[in-house]
Each structure stands twice: as C-alpha cells, then as structure tokens.
Amino acid sequence: MNLLRNFLASSLVAATLIPGAAPAQESAANFPSKPIRFIVGFAPGGSTDIAARLIGEKMQAKWGQPVIIENRPGVGGNIAADIVAKSPPDGYIIVHGVTGSHAINISLFKKLPYHPLKDFEPITQTTLYPVAIATPTSFPANNIQELVAMARRDVGKMVYGTDGTGTASHLTMELLLYKAGVKMQFVPYKGSAPMIADVMGNQVPIGITGITLMVNAHKAGKLKVLGVTSLERSPAAPELPTVAEQGFPGFSGEAFTGFFAPKGTPKPIIDKLPSEIIAAMRMPDVMKKMADIGTPVVGSGPEAFRAFVTKEIEKWAEAVRVAGVSVD
C-alpha cells in the first residue's frame, strides 16, 4: 500500500512538470482569469486600433475580464511586436500585428530584434484592406496621373506622409513611385490619425495610410482621395478609383492585421483564442462597422494564418528589393 501511495504521489508530481499536462489544460479551461492586454503598434484612431478595440470590447463582455488596449506606436509596429515577443508566453499579452511588423520588416530592417514567425504563435488574421492616397481638398492634383506629373516637375521636392517607417502604406507608395519613375521625400508619423490631421491641415501635401480614416475624412469633405490600392474598388467608398485604373494596371498593395501571441504560449490557449476572437469579429455589428470603414474582417485558424504570413513575407521581400528601400 505504501509503495502504491508513493508511486501515485510521484506520478502526480511528474505530471505537473510535463509541459502540456493536466495543469495546462485546466489553465486553458479557466482562461482568462485576469486582464488581457492587446498591444497596438500605432496611435489611437487608426484602423489597427479600431479593430482591436471593437474586438476587445466583445471579448471583455464574453470573458468577464478587462481587455486593455495598449498603444505602443513607433517604427512601423516594431516596438509593439518586440514587446510581445519578449513577454511571458501565457496568453495574457497579445500583439495586433500588421503587414509592416509581421511581413515587411524582416526584409526592410537589417537588425530586426524579433522574427515575425519564429518568435510568435499566429492566432488569427483579422482584416485585409487597401491603403488610400489623399491630399488636402485644395491640392491641385485630382488623380494619380496628375500627382505623378507634379512630381516629375518638382523632382524630389514633393513630400508625402504615412503611418510609420516600413509600413505597408510606406512601401506601397515607394513601389508606386518606382513604377512611375518619380521620387518624393518621405515623412514618417507615429500612426494614421496624426498624419491625416496634418494632411487636412495642409501641413503635409500628400498622405497614404489604411483606407479606414481616409474614408471617414473623404465622406466628411475634409480631404481628397486620389486612389486606393486594391485591385477592385472598396465597397466602403465605391466612388473612389483604384490606382490600377489610373495607368498602373495590376497594381495592388493591401495591408493585413492579425493577432499574435509570444512563442511558447501553451497550445490549449492558442487553440482556444482563435474561435473566440473570430466569434467576436463575426458579430453583425462588428462586421458592419468594419465594412463601413473599408476593413472587412477575415478570421482564420492559426495554421492558415501562419501560411498566409509566410507568403506575405515572401511577397514583400520582393517588393523591398524592387523598391530599393532599406532601414538600418
């Protein structure tokens, strides 16, 4: 009897030391038992922030735990991604990554402090959307061809702003300039909202960022959108022409967002998160709000999202090479 008791006691201790054993399952079943942080790499008000807040609000109501949106802008989302890559892998800190932080920057930055896949567990893709090129309403150009003609006359003197260095917006504009054979000076901002404010206030003549806030400002008559970078017109503003329609056939540059946890987050938690986040994303009011601002929701499982990010890394590596853009 004593031998049996000793054997059972030893087995229980061993089980608690084995990764993925019963305690991990219990942890997932009770997850979350404390506040969760969604880290956003851009200032409040941009499309990445809006999506995180909409989803976080639904998750908070379902989980009964606070979902804190923490904005850590800078370096095209790298700061936020690096924070999460180096955080405890317990599911309580998640980054709402973007095309820049999790696809472009591995090729763009010579010393990226993290790897977009090796240091993360993909959870689910949230959105896929075009970027929009806009100007103040008083700007002389009314379309992409007129903008290119102005850039040719003022070689290297025109300035454009975007939502950060190395973002999909930045690289898409550089690809367009490369194809048009013109150059402009680049001014990075820490997010979409401050850049758009400067475009509307005539502080910077051209801005490019995700369609979300551009559509709102366009519909309010506060700025002029010259083109969007999807192959098809956006359902949120079908009156806006694509860049492809304006002398650049086949041109496209769409950005994605998605949630990532630190590498090593227990599989039971990674298995639980996608279904619950996707359920929140697909609530009718969330879907409508996202569609209205031009960023329809996607939703995908971890493996499908990993495969998507892998292809995006390859695609944008070629774009970085063609555009000749790099950041030390």
Q: For the segment 141-193, what is each residue's pLDDT rounded down to a tens digit?
A: 999 999 999 999 988 889 999 987 778 888 899 999 999 999 999 999 888 88
Query: For residue 11, is pLDDT > 50?
Result: no
Query: For residue 235, is pLDDT > 90?
Result: no
Last residue of a domain, one of 246, 271, 305: 246
Same domain, 214 and 115: no
Same domain, 296 and 306: yes
Query: For residue 13, is pLDDT > 60?
Result: no
Last residue of a domain, one of 246, 280, 297: 246
Confidence of residue 37 (pLDDT cuts 50, 70, 90): very high
Query: For residue 8, is pLDDT > 50?
Result: no
The CATH number given to whatever domain includes residue 312 is 3.40.190.150
Query: For residue 57, is pLDDT > 70?
Result: yes
Confidence of residue 17 (pLDDT cuts 50, 70, 90): very low
Residue 7 is predicted with a pLDDT of 34
Average pLDDT over residues 95-101: 95
Backbone angles phi, psi at 29, to 5 degrees: -65, -35
Same domain, 224 and 237: yes
Q: Is 71 among the domain residues?
A: yes
Same domain, 145 and 197: yes
Query: For residue 223, is pLDDT > 50?
Result: yes
Same domain, 163 and 238: yes
Q: Is 251 among the domain residues?
A: no
Residue 27 is predicted with a pLDDT of 64
Q: Is 140 among the domain residues?
A: yes
Q: For the segment 188-208, what is each residue's pLDDT rounded down to a tens digit?
A: 988 888 999 999 999 999 999
Residue 322 is predicted with a pLDDT of 80
Query: For residue 85, is pLDDT > 90?
Result: yes
Same domain, 35 and 115: yes
Mean pLDDT value across the chain: 89
Same domain, 302 and 315: yes
Give the CA distances from residue 165 to residues 17, 42, 148, 173, in Å, rounded to whole numbers and listed in that order.
44, 12, 22, 12
Residue 1 is predicted with a pLDDT of 44
Confidence of residue 212 (pLDDT cuts 50, 70, 90): confident
All residues at 6 or more sequence positions from 126 whose CB lies less than 8 Å from its CB, including other chains = 51, 55, 96, 256, 257, 258, 259, 277, 281, 297, 298, 299
Residue 164 is predicted with a pLDDT of 79
Q: How many domains does the chain have?
A: 2
Query: For residue 109, is pLDDT > 60?
Result: yes
3-state helix, strand, coil in the chain (%, to 5): 45, 20, 35
Same domain, 236 and 319: no
Q: For the segment 254-311, what is each residue's pLDDT rounded down to a tens digit?
A: 999 999 999 999 999 999 999 999 999 999 999 999 988 888 899 999 999 999 999 9
Query: For residue 94, is pLDDT > 90?
Result: yes
The CATH number given to whatever domain includes residue 239 is 3.40.190.10
Q: Is 2 among the domain residues?
A: no
CB 131 within 8 A of CB 260: no
Enclosing domain of residue 276: 18-128+256-323
Residue 10 is predicted with a pLDDT of 41
Same domain, 114 and 262: yes
From the list 221, 220, 226, the residue with the least C-alpha distance to 207 is 226
Same domain, 116 and 144: no
Residue 18 is predicted with a pLDDT of 40
Q: Is 13 among the domain residues?
A: no
Token pair, residue 314, equals 């390859």
Average pLDDT over residues 234-254: 94
Q: Is 5 among the domain residues?
A: no
Last residue of a domain, one of 246, 273, 301: 246
All residues at 6 or more sequence positions from 323 whose CB lies less than 8 Å from its CB, including other chains = 171, 174, 175, 178
Residue 244 is predicted with a pLDDT of 97
Residue 225 is predicted with a pLDDT of 97
Q: Is 51 among the domain residues?
A: yes
Entry pTM: 0.78
Same domain, 111 and 28: yes
Residue 317 is predicted with a pLDDT of 93
Q: Is 101 among the domain residues?
A: yes
Query: For residue 239, is pLDDT > 90?
Result: yes
Calpha distance 97→75 (Å, rounded): 13
Same domain, 146 and 190: yes
